[in-house]
Chains A and B, each alone.
Chain A
Amino acid sequence: MPAVMLAAMSVLLFAFAAMTLWWTMHAWRTPETLAATRFAAPDGTHDLTFSLLVPARHEEEVLEHTVARLMTATHTDLEILIIVGHDDPGTAAVAEKIAATDPARIRVITDTNVPKNKPKALNTALPHCRGAVVGVFDAEDQVHPDLLAHVDSAFRATGADVVQGGVQLINFHSSWFSLHNCLEYFFWFRSRLHLHARKGFIPLGGNTVFVRTEVLRAAGGWDGTCLAEDCDLGVRLSCVGAKVVVAYESAIVTKEETPDTLMSLLKQRTRWNQGFLQVLRKRDWKRLPTMRQRMLARYTLTGPFVQAFSAVAIPIGLYIGLVMDVPVNVALLTFTPVVPMIATLMFQIVGLRDFGQQYGLRIRALHYARLVLGAFPYALVLSLAAVRAVWREWTGKNNWELTKHVGAHLPQGGEPVLEGAAA
């Protein structure tokens, strides 16, 4: 009987890992799928108007740089709404100073909500938006000047309600876990998100996301109580049949930095996972039109937890298969989940090489070593984050854990700053 259970568990773990791998590799399936992930070249006309929301909390250091960069956009029909907290005079002062440089296009919105979080800040600004499209950026984002022109033509060419642009963590060299974190983003934005867009169920990202203003208002804006307001918005928009387009072009992705310590990574991931759990419990996804979409939603929202379970269960299964006295066939079965796991790692090696080529970064032997040797520890960190998320949700703790940003992705670097409305 234990042998049968062990076999069944192995088959399940294999199926999960194989499925995840299949979806992760979506973009590279065929030359056609790869081509479909790209932005079409902009046609030169600028028809849409943009309202860009930049929530900033204790971001004095990076805010000016970010907004100045946004203002260099080749698409000029835009307004920038910097959202600051009433309890954060430092950032507010910087924001006012920036707004004074171009009062017609830059405004400061003060958020008086208590306690504060990113979705509440965004909701505060939503009534003030005049543009046809609302875009969200984080205060530390490095946005490419051509991005809006591309997004404009993507909206018009596809008739989309939502355009999700690429976001890429770039400081892979900072630490062993930042390398894994960067690759996660690479595979997610380069590949997996496109599959979600195609299947009609998409957990949106936190920034470089663009929504038609009337669609966003009709949906009631963001959920101010949810820890993963971006994912939640994607789920709710999917339910009403909004057309979501994901477009990725390595030249114009928004560049970000990874959390600077393992602890802040753990906290950030805990928050996301808890947010996923909240979205799952809200049951909005049950209103998705087709069975397949609902299955994909269930699978995606529980994904982090199954993955966490796999990271622990697979080694235990292997140990039992190797050491305990089980029939050879069952012992062989316990090894089957390792097959997609190792295949995933092998694809990550190519992915790291591809990442380096696309962003003009030099990948050294050290980085490949960090990738291979860090794979299991990183999986354990993710497992821990999943367990923490379940624990916090269970005990009703849902305050925002802060993520620290050091500006490692910026060319000139920067001082450590705290940021409440994290990436």
Chain B
Amino acid sequence: MTTLAEPPAVEVPPEDRPPLRDRARRVAVLVTAPLRRWPSRDAVIVAALVAVVGCVYLPNIGGFPGASDDEGTYLAQAWAVREGLGLAHYTYWYDHPPVGWLQLAALAWLPAAVAPDALAVAAGRYAMVPVVAIILALTYVLTRRLGFARPTAAAALLLLGLSPLTVTLYRQLFLDTFAVAWLLAALVLALSPRKHLWHHVAAGAAAAVAVLSKETMLVAVPAVAVALWQGTLRGLRGYSLVGATAGLALVGVFFPLYALLKGELFPGPDHVSLIGAWQFQLQNRTGSGSVFEAGSSANKLVQSWLFYDWVLPVAGAIAVVAGLFVRRLRAPALAAVLLAVMVVRPGGYLPAMYVIGLLPFFAIATVGLVEIAARRLLAVDPLRHGRRYRASVALLVASTVAAVVLVVPVWTTGLGRAVTRADNSGYEATAVWLRAHAPVEPHARVVLDDVLWLDAVNAGFERERVIWFYKLDLDTAVTATLPRGWRSVDYVISSPAMRADPNILPNVAAVLTHSHVVVTFGTGDDRIEIRRVDQEAQ
């Protein structure tokens, strides 16, 4: 304040300055000083960079990538929360902790306002816009709090935000995206420059929300502990670590407590249970094979990530391993390495969107290492070691050019795909058909995949009669509503997701076999068929 109020003008000698104007200037400085502090320079940079990312993130957000079954699931469960039906519209069986789609439910006003008539999943993706903006901002802030310069933090934000892999996966309605936002928040809070005890408690609580948004984040929690250790001073560290533990445990415990109060903590004969669900997730899930074994599903999945962008995952994977040995980068690097152990561990189940949790840390570690290397190279006195200095500059320029040459073609292809491809046209056409047909047969029983469920209900079909296809075989509560078994079904909407594994679901196989096509949208494997069930077929 005092520096701002100092007479600023050298060209006007003090004795010539009218006292009234001087006072007016002082008042003006007093009034505008707080405004000048906010928005801060960092806030302006983040806003501008997020807007840049928005230019590739927003256009065609509903058209690419193709809607995934999981997106429909979470969106429908968020819808159930909003409608007051509980945590899911089917029996909630503790498959995932619910905080992810509770947040999605809280953001549901956004798609309704922006795209009320679009395919539900396509419109729902607008709910991810603020989440992704927050992730980008937190990536910037975390990089700054790790002690890196503004350009480095800006580069981290852009490396993350412009990677076609990010644009592809972060557009989708995945719980991992919510979870990684909270994990970043936990790290940012743990490294609070004020070293405030309640920021540290909040860091623990944020980590708990991350885990309750997506349970796989549990493996990354030790990274928050590392950040806390680095972000606290002796004498206060004990209080901060215990405070964070309290935040983590006391927020986290509400999930098992919920199960306990519902009588669903322990497995039992006639009800779902939290522990039973965990046992299923850990033991009964079919493993995805080894990443390093060609043809395994884990290997195929990693290949598909690298198809969208190999630059960020490859550079990031190297950087996070190296980052473990750099004090400043240890926390984010550890988060990524711990999460990555899940990818390379043989035989485990690898979810399709798993890499979402790794990407921000890949970006931070990559740019952080670059800054450290650049500073090392340039830490030569240009006057005394002119040659070495010029060589360093040349090396830096050359590697920057090489990186740009490498990245630009990969990213322009990927981003071009992201802003142009219309991968959901089949679903969109089906949604239109549902809306047109619902008034004709509102009581029809429709079996479909998760993506279309909310569209069917919104179109006017009865909620109890719109059925996720695998519930037909797997949920006894659903089969109990079908007096004649599969013969009670009127329509089945056959999509690639449904046709993937016909043999393990006998009722689904039956309705697909004993039905005829009413209308088809699209061609080839991606086609969507609306089929009328032949209820009297033998």
Contact = CB atoms under 8 A, between A and B. Distances in A.
Contact of A328 (B235, B250, B251, B261): B261
B198 A332 contact: no
Interface of A: 22, 25, 28-31, 34, 321-322, 328, 331-332, 335, 339, 342-343, 346-347, 349-350, 353-354
Contacts of A349: 242
A335 B258 CA distance: 10
Contacts of B245: 346
3 interchain residue pairs of minimum CB distance: A343-B246, A339-B250, A350-B238
A347 B242 contact: yes
B197 A29 contact: yes
Given A332-B254, A343-B243, A346-B242, A321 B197 contact: no
A28 B250 contact: no
B471 interface: no
Contacts of B257: 332, 335
Interface string B225-262: 00000000101101100110111001100100110011
A367 to B, nearest CB: 16
A34 B235 contact: yes
B384 interface: no
Nearest to A331: B261
Contacts of B243: 25, 343, 346-347
Contacts of A30: 194-197
Contact of B239 (A22, A25, A331, A342): A25
A194 to B, nearest CB: 14
Nearest to B260: A322
A31 B254 contact: no
A328 B258 contact: yes
B239 A347 contact: yes
A242 B492 CA distance: 81
A354 B243 CA distance: 15
B250 A343 contact: yes
A339 B245 CA distance: 12
Contact of B238 (A31, A339, A354): A354
A45 B56 CA distance: 70
Contacts of A350: 238-239, 242
B195 A31 contact: yes
Contacts of B194: 30
Contacts of A321: 261
Nearest to A358: B235
Contacts of B201: 343
A37 to B, nearest CB: 12
A321 B239 CA distance: 31
A34 B243 CA distance: 16
B238 A353 contact: yes
Nearest to B237: A350
Contact of A34 (B236, B242, B246): B236
A49 to B, nearest CB: 36
A346 B198 CA distance: 14
Contact of B262 (A31, A328, A342): A328
Given A328-B261, A354-B238, 13 more contacts: A22-B198, A28-B197, A29-B198, A321-B261, A328-B262, A331-B261, A332-B257, A335-B257, A339-B251, A343-B246, A343-B247, A350-B242, A354-B239
A236 B247 CA distance: 39
B162 to A, nearest CB: 37
A346 B196 contact: no
A335 B198 contact: no
A321, A346, A353 — which one has the most chain B CB atoms within 10 A of its CB?
A: A346
Nearest to B262: A328
A354 B197 CA distance: 16
Contacts of A28: 197, 236, 239
Contacts of B261: 321-322, 328, 331-332
A354 B198 CA distance: 19
Nearest to B247: A343
Given A29-B198, A321-B261, A335-B257, A346 B246 contact: yes
Contacts of A328: 258, 261-262
B208 to A, nearest CB: 11
Contacts of A332: 254, 257-258, 261
23 contacts: A22-B198, A25-B197, A25-B243, A28-B236, A29-B198, A30-B197, A31-B233, A31-B236, A321-B261, A328-B262, A331-B261, A332-B254, A332-B258, A332-B261, A335-B257, A339-B251, A343-B247, A343-B250, A346-B242, A346-B245, A347-B243, A350-B238, A354-B238
Nearest to B239: A28
Given A29-B198, A31-B195, A31-B233, A335 B238 contact: no
A342 B246 contact: yes
A322 B263 CA distance: 10
B337 to A, nearest CB: 29
A114 to B, nearest CB: 49
Nearest to B241: A350
Contacts of B262: 328
A350 B236 CA distance: 10
Contacts of B233: 31
Interface in B489-509: none
A402 B345 CA distance: 69
A34 B237 CA distance: 12
Contacts of A354: 238-239
A322 to B, nearest CB: 7
A342 B250 CA distance: 8
Nearest to A349: B242
A240 B259 CA distance: 55
Nearest to A344: B246
A31 B198 CA distance: 13
A328 B198 CA distance: 29
A350 B246 CA distance: 12
A39 B254 CA distance: 43
Interface in B337-389: none
Contacts of B198: 22, 29
A421 B101 CA distance: 62
Interface string B192-210: 0011111001000000000
A77 B261 CA distance: 67
A27 to B, nearest CB: 9
A122 B424 CA distance: 86
B262 to A, nearest CB: 6
B358 to A, nearest CB: 32
A290 B342 CA distance: 57
Nearest to A327: B261
A355 to B, nearest CB: 12
Nearest to A28: B239
A191 B398 CA distance: 57
A339 B257 CA distance: 12
A31 B233 CA distance: 8
Contacts of B251: 339
Nearest to B192: A30
Contacts of B258: 328, 332
A335 B251 CA distance: 11
B140 to A, nearest CB: 24
B229 to A, nearest CB: 15
Given A30-B195, A31-B195, A335 B254 contact: yes
B196 A29 contact: yes
B417 to A, nearest CB: 44
A29 B243 CA distance: 11
A347 B233 CA distance: 17
A31 B243 CA distance: 15
A141 B261 CA distance: 52
Contacts of B195: 30-31
A70 to B, nearest CB: 31
Contacts of B236: 28, 31, 34
A22 B243 CA distance: 11
